[in-house]
Structure 1
Amino acid sequence: MHDLDLTTLRLFVAVCETRNIARAAEQHHIVPSAISKRIAQLEGVVGNRLVERKRRGVVPTGAGEILLEHARAMLAGQDRVARDMAAYGQGIKGQVRVLASVSSIAEYLPDDIADFLQLPAHRDIRVDIEEALSRDLVRGVREGLAPVGVCWDAADLEGLQTRPYRNDQLAIVAHPAHPLAKQKRCRFEQTLDFDHVGLPASTAVHTMLGRAAAIAGRPLSYRAVVTTFDASLRCVRAQLGIAVVPQEVAQPMAQAYGLRVLPLTDRWARRGFAICFQDERQLSPAARLLVAHLASQAQARRGRKKA
């Protein structure tokens, strides 16, 4: 196979995302026939038909879907190279990209990274954080899309090196008028009598709760599914259901909304997070410094709690 042309891949992605060659051409300021010609050449290079023209527009074939995923990753890599070189030209001598789960970003990670960057020895280092689902995060670290990841330690981390990071406690957030609100804490099985407000099925929390409900032999009823913890608490405030949220995230927001926070007593509700990377020896100096800082911050806080 000949080398893939990044400009052609960018046009291919635009066609797949807009489902329209003319619209993609308009976005990239070229004529539609030029895009059609490039896609035909791309099909010749990969040896497969990549798009189909249907009544409602252009859709990728099975082979096109596979190439689309790789093309997005390649273009994202090119964009990162451009940003990194621009940052270096502005005087930044080290740059670390971190893929992180939504819980770690909502809880501790931004503050720990800010502490790292405030140290005088790190003034020439830049850290970029990108939110990702745990499964995508782990795949991204394995494939070299980012040198460092921070995620739930129950994720499939096989083949990666890890260091312990923080812990959190899952809790039920309920409206004061809810039957569970009178309790100080509860078991997850007790919540299965009521409607829940949940996160999308692709998230680690959704998977964990589904597994726990299956073990209990009870259905888990979602009345609303939202994408952020803040949105879930707004739904709780509107009495659409109860939500399972890390206590560290829920406490300050629940106070503002006048909601009750009940820690779950189930063993699995106490979660640990991990810092993951391919090989510590292959990390850049800046990445090694960041990993060491995050691990030491977490260890220091655990020591203070024991004291």
Structure 2
Amino acid sequence: MRFDLSDLRLFLHIVEAQSITAGAERACLALASASARIKTLEDALGTPLLERHRRGVRPTPAGRALEHHARGMLYRLELLVGDLGRYAQGLRGRVRLLANTAALTEYLPDPLGAFLLEQPHLDVVLEERPSHAIAEALLRQQADLGILAAERAPEGLESRPFREDRLVCIVTRGDPRFADRRRVRFSELLEQAFVGLTGDNALQQHLTRKAAQAGGRLNLRVRLAGFEPVCRLVGQGVGIGIVPETAARRWRSIGVRRLRLDEPWALRQLRLCAPSFDALSPHARALADHLAPTREG
């Protein structure tokens, strides 16, 4: 029996997204084409691979077995591409990298851009996820590398320090409510109107969980895609916001003032993680060494 690698990648996209529609989008396929490919795969194997339910799909026991072996096959293919890359100039490699919001927007673009310029035959599939979801994906071998916020390496993963990230509260300059304040507790802010990020944004999900842990919820007047528009609306007085300090410094000229967020979780260590750095494909290992050359311990 022959397997089409693109079909295997499509199947993994669907399993990860728990949706045929979302999986098709990740694979850049029309829904009808993706559904037909999965049906052909099921017919060839003689067993259903996905169970349909109200919120999407999940793999059957046979689907779980296919997921396990497909990940191994595609990983070994990446190793093959890495080993032959020195000889076959036209053969492209791929590294899948997950990152939380702060890493993706504030710290990753410059070093990643420099790496890609040095590696013209390598592609990086970059996706934003919350830190806890990145750890889960790495443990399930759904990505090669991940940058997440954690004091230490999550259980089952190895890590290297990447950057230090501080979250701050931003208010409009001259706001009388905070005129004499230099720092503020997160619980004090829950009654204020917020300018937030979109619901699928990893940092926004993190702040929503912190609000729930504090016994409240965020009063979001508007959700925006990106730190610049958040800072602009805060500068206009629409509400307050929470962003990385690097973003607050970058956009201070548009009328925002930053307050120290007096919470232990506001100062975060961003870590580059992998199940095992030594077991990475050559391309993934090269990216890891470029982004975070310092090993811990």
Q: TM-score, normalised by structure 1?
A: 0.65
Contact 1:100 1:129 in 2 (8 A): no
- 1:126 corresponds, among 102, 122, 125, to 122
2:243 counterpart of 1:239? no
Q: Could you tell me which amino acid in structure 1 is paired with residue 127 of structure 2?
A: E
Partner of 1:61: 53
Q: Which amino acid aligns with 1:111?
A: D
Structure 1 residue ranges without an equivalent (≥5): 51-59, 300-307
Aligned to 2:48: 46
RMSD: 4.7
| Match 2:262 to one of 262, 265, 273 | 265
**Percent of paired sites with the same residue:** 28
Task: Please name the residue that 1:17 is paired with.
Answer: 21
Residue 108 of structure 1 aligns with which residue?
107
CA distance in 1, matches of 2:44, 2:149: 39
User: For each residue in 1:238-286, what CA deviation from the matched residue of structure 2 results, as whole angstroms up to 9, or x when unmatched?
Assistant: 533111000112221242x222222313222111111101112211334
CA contact (8 A) 1:168 1:246 kept: yes
Call closer, same or farther: CA 1:192–1:41 in 2, change over 3 Å. same
Q: Say yes or no: does 1:285 pair with 2:289.
A: no
What residue identity is the alignment partner of 1:282? A
Mapped to 2, the partners of 1:90 and 1:153 lie a distance apart of 38
Corresponding residue for 1:143? 140
Say which SS state the counterpart of residue 106 (structure 1) adopts. helix
In proportion to residue count, which structure has more helix? 1
Residue 162 (1) aligns with residue 159 (2): yes
Residue 35 of structure 1, CA deviation: 8.4
| Further displaced range: 144-153 or 270-279 | 144-153
Q: Note the alpha carbon deviations across 1:135-190, whole angstroms, 9 max, x for none.
A: 44323322333321111126982211111221111111222253345333333233
Q: Could you tell me which amino acid in structure 1 is paired with residue 269 of structure 2?
A: G
Specify the SS of the correspondent of 1:163: strand
Q: Is the 8 A contact 1:186 1:262 kept in 2?
A: yes
1:303 alignment counterpart: none
- Measured in 1, the distance between the counterparts of 2:49 and 2:264 equals 52
Query: TM-score of the superposition, structure 2-length normalised?
Result: 0.67
Looking at structure 1, the residues matched to 261 and 233 of structure 2 have their Cα atoms a distance apart, in angstroms, of 20
Q: Secondary structure at the match of 1:171?
A: strand
CA contact (8 A) 2:198 2:225 kept: yes
Paired residues for 1:30-45 under 5 Å? 38=40, 41=43, 45=47
- Please say if 1:97 is aligned against 2:89: no
Larger radius of gyration: 1
Q: Check conservation: 2:162, 2:272, Cα contact below 8 A.
A: yes
Change over 3 Å in CA distance of 1:232–1:280 after alignment to 2: same
How far, CA to CA, are the matches of 1:177 and 1:294 in structure 2? 39
Give CA-to-partner distance per residue, 1:179-209, whole Å, 9 cap, x none.
3453333332332231112235565534543
The count of residues paired between Structure 1 and Structure 2 equals 271
Q: 1:273 to 1:237 in 2, by over 3 A?
A: same
What SS class does the counterpart of residue 143 from structure 2 fall into?
A: coil
Structure 1: distance between partners of 2:41 and 2:288: 43
| Paired letter, 1:157 | P
- Is 2:101–2:203's contact at 8 Å kept on the other side of the alignment? no
Q: Deviations over 1:99-158 (max 9, x none)?
A: 22221021112222344456xxx5566351512213443233223333211111269822
Give the distance between the partners of 1:112 and 1:36, measured in 2 at CA: 38
Change beyond 3 A, Cα 1:204–1:99 = closer
- In structure 2, give the amino acid aligned to 1:168: D
Assess, with a 3 A threshold, how the Cα gap between structure 1 residues 4 and 63 changes in structure 2: closer, same or farther.
farther
Q: What CA distance in whole angstroms lies between the structure 2 residues aligned with 1:36 and 1:279?
A: 32
Preserved CA contact (<8 Å) 1:99 1:131: yes
Q: Secondary structure at the match of 1:279?
A: coil
- Secondary structure at 2:47 match in 1: helix
Does the 8 Å CA contact 1:166/1:298 hold for their aligned counterparts? no
Report how far residue 97 of structure 1 moved. Answer: 3.2
For the 8 Å contact 1:135–1:155, the answer to whether it is kept is no
Classify the secondary structure of the residue corresponding to 2:156: coil
* Partner of residue 175 from structure 1, selected from 166, 172, 175: 172
